[in-house]
Amino acid sequence: MSRNWWKIVTALIFTGAHVGQLHAADGLYLGAGIGIASFKDDLGSGVTLDEEDAAYKAFIGWRFDVIPVIDLAVEVAYTDFGKPSQTVAAQQFEVNLRGPSIAGLLIFPLGPVDLYGKVGVLDWKLDRTVAGTTRTSSGNDAFYGAGIGFYIWKIAFRAEWERFEIQDVERVDMVSVHALFQF
């Protein structure tokens, strides 16, 4: 019986050491991504803009291996949500949303796969162009999201969904894919 016990303990130690090396380590990471931003807004004059456009994001972060089951990260990013537009009754309607953000991530490392949730604040600037006239507004509002990542050595690929709670805008969502390098 004691001989089988040592075999089980040895197998668990080697398995734990192997899995521990598969997930991302503490430290600095840098990344960029591309996605689709979905934007719904009432532009006035009975016009509702409900369009999508290509969106881009660049970010830098720091990952902390705090507890064996959970990692935390803080991430600073700059996001350009594109310029969704539409033409109604020969008038061009366009929005341009962009800005820096800071977010906290709660990460569940499962070997080389990460599941994570994030919450943060976006410091946004929004230009609404209606028939050639542009109105600019800005502010700070919350956002949240979730994603999945896959690590190979120090390179990771991740996919995420985010919802931005922008003041006076009905809905801003972003679905994106990213590549990142961990130093």
pLDDT digits (tens, 9 = 90+) for 85-132: 888 777 788 889 999 999 999 999 998 999 999 999 999 999 988 878
CATH code at position 79: 2.40.160.20
pTM: 0.82
pLDDT band of residue 19 (cuts 50, 70, 90) is very low
* Bridging pattern class, strands 47-64 and 155-164: unpaired
pLDDT at 11 > cutoff 90: no
Structural domain of 110: 2-182
Longest dimension (CA), the chain: 84
Calculate the dihedral angle through the C-alpha atoms of 58, 62, 65, 66, rounding to the nearest 10 degrees.
Answer: -120
How many domains are there within the chain? Answer: 1
Q: Return d(Cα 160, Cα 35) in angstroms, integer.
A: 9
Q: Strands (DSSP E) along 81-112, which ranges?
A: 85-88, 91-110
Q: Is 74 exposed, middle or buried (0-12, 13-18, 19+ CB in 10 A)?
A: middle
Does the CA dihedral 166-169-174-179 come out positive or negative? negative
Higher pLDDT, 4 or 64: 64
Closest to 23 in 3D by CA, of 169, 156, 162? 156
Calculate the dihedral angle through the C-alpha atoms of 72, 75, 79, 81, rounding to the nearest 10 degrees.
Answer: 10
Closest to 130 in 3D by CA, of 9, 15, 52, 42? 42
